[in-house]
Amino acid sequence: MLINMNLRGWFILLMLSFTILNGCINKNESNNYLRIEKTTDEIRTKLVALRRDFHENPELAGNEVRSAKIIAKYLEELGLEVKTDIAGNGVIGILHGESAGRNIAWRADMDALPNDFLDDVPFKSKNEGVQHGCGHDVHMAIGLGIAEVLAKNRDLLSGTIYFIFQPEEEPFKGAKNIVQTKDFLNMNLDEIYTLHVTALPVGKIMTKANELYAYQKRIKLSFKKSISQKELKDLYEKIRIETLRTVDGNKPWEIPLAFDTTRGLSNANTMFKDYFFMEENFVIHEESNQWELLADAYETKKSNVSNILSNIIEVINSSGYEDKFISASFIQENPTVMNDEKLTSETSRFLENRFGSELLMQDYGQIPYFNDDFIYFQEKIPGVYFLLGGSNKEKEINAMNHAPNFRVDEECIRVGVKTFSSLMLNRAESEK
């Protein structure tokens, strides 16, 4: 009886010690993340000013010279190892932690759009015909903010963080070029992450495993000159109608509804899932004494992509114009963003545990029209692509990308830096 009591006492003491130790670890971990948030708040004003400078001085894909110089100087002043002229104007900043860990990358794109949309802000573009209408100015500011927060808290950091500032995202070139460089291969990355600001409510983040966007295919249909352009237009409309697939008569091409709370991506019955459609707009031109009709198609199911051309040909063969038809082909087949299932689950769980369930919005669909060459990184390394809210209905701010008067609530910069600095810190110390 005495022996059993002693054993019981030792067991209770051991469990009590473990509980106290575990509590200390959790408290220290919590304090570490509070330091991340405090540093973020301290540099918020500077990051907003930096974003506005990028916005005023946008540069088209392949011409991101000024942006690259600012980024390189900023990273150097933080004490990072910096590499420039990566696949053109790319910049890589390397931040080594205080202890061994994993190699994690953060990607931020740099290029602006060729447009003159309404840009009703005091810091509108100074470069005629060029505008940051997709939010890459915000992405650069957030990327630099994450670098600064982690550099100022290097004592908390394990492993190595690589900050990849990428040119030429809009033409789908930059990432593909970077992954072929020795600088990229030498990183020996374990994981890679990025975000895109968009028309979600500010303070919200969205992601999902696997496909985030629809598969986009540009199709070329070739016809003999004996068919008139009017006949071609009528035939294309027939193709659109007969190949269309939606659920319950939904119209997934109505992209402004993507972030609507009742019909958008965050609703389990979203109109943006299980669809195929061809764009209403198309181009007809003459080439080699034949007509070429070019149009874009969007499909949510990978298994259906291989049937797109055969379905179109089937409609043509029953149209009465089959004798004037020459061929159908894909002329652009960009891969689509594909989030790693395991990482999506792990990172979503971390963010929810750290910041609360109200931060994350569930994504139930796939967005048409948009895509990102981040997929070329994901083809090499497991990675996750997040959507960051930039809209504020009360302030009449709508962060719909590539749209007139694209604006963001700059609170999204603080949210992005705080959230993803914490995530990078966590992922770098995770065991391999």
Record the tokens describing residue 399, joined without a space: 């962060």
**136 and 231 co-located in one domain:** no
Q: What is the CATH number of the domain that holds 306?
A: 3.30.70
Give percent of the chain above pLDDT 70. Answer: 93
For residue 25, is it within any domain? no
Residue with more model confidence, 18 or 206: 206
Of 299, 332, 365, which residue constitutes the final position of a domain?
Answer: 332
Record the tokens describing residue 275, joined without a space: 């669809």
**151 and 241 co-located in one domain:** no
How many domains, the chain? Answer: 2
Q: What span, in angstroms and rounded, lies between the C-alpha atoms of 298 and 308? A: 10
User: Is the per-residue pLDDT at 139 higher than 90?
Assistant: yes
**368 and 324 co-located in one domain:** no
What was the pLDDT predicted at 24?
45
Which has the closest alpha carbon to 342: 191, 163, 187?
Answer: 191
pTM: 0.91
Average pLDDT of the chain? 94
Average pLDDT over residues 108-131: 95
Q: What would the pLDDT profile of 360-417 be if each residue is shown by its tens digit?
A: 999 999 999 999 999 999 999 999 999 999 999 999 999 999 999 899 999 999 999 9
User: Is the per-residue pLDDT at 14 higher than 70?
Assistant: no
Q: Tell me the residue type at 421.
A: S
What was the pLDDT predicted at 27?
56
Domain assignment of residue 89, given as a range: 33-209+336-429
Q: What is the CATH number of the domain that holds 62?
A: 3.40.630.10
**113 and 196 co-located in one domain:** yes
Bridge partners, 60 (sequence order): 112
Specify the residue for token string 């959507």: 387
3-class SS of residue 385: strand
Which residues does the annotation place in the binding site for Mn(2+)?
134, 136, 170, 196, 402
For residue 200, is it within any domain? yes
Average pLDDT over residues 152-180: 98
**39 and 153 co-located in one domain:** yes
Helix then strand count (H, E) for the chain reads 11, 15
Q: H or E element: which one contains 29?
A: helix 2-56
For residue 15, is it within any domain? no
- What's the alpha-carbon Rg for the chain, to the nearest Å? 25
186-207 burial: b if 16+ Cβ within 10 Å, else e: ebebbbbbbbbbbbbbbbbbbb
Average pLDDT over residues 308-318: 98
Specify the residue for token string 């390189």: 72
Bridge partners, 291 (sequence order): 223, 286
Q: What span, in angstroms and rounded, lies between the C-alpha atoms of 232 and 291? A: 9
Q: What span, in angstroms and rounded, lies between the C-alpha atoms of 403 and 76? A: 35
Record the tokens describing residue 407, joined without a space: 């604006």
Query: What confidence tier does 53 reach under pLDDT thresholds 50, 70, 90?
Result: very high
Query: What confidence tier does 30 reach under pLDDT thresholds 50, 70, 90?
Result: confident
Q: What span, in angstroms and rounded, lies between the C-alpha atoms of 246 and 195? A: 29
What was the pLDDT predicted at 315?
98
**204 and 232 co-located in one domain:** no
Specify the residue for token string 């966007």: 213
**313 and 387 co-located in one domain:** no
Which residues does the annotation place in the binding site?
134, 136, 170, 196, 402
Q: Tell me the residue type at 42.
A: E
Taken as a whole, the chain contains a residue count of 432
User: Is the per-residue pLDDT at 12 higher than 90?
Assistant: no
**48 and 160 co-located in one domain:** yes
**328 and 343 co-located in one domain:** no
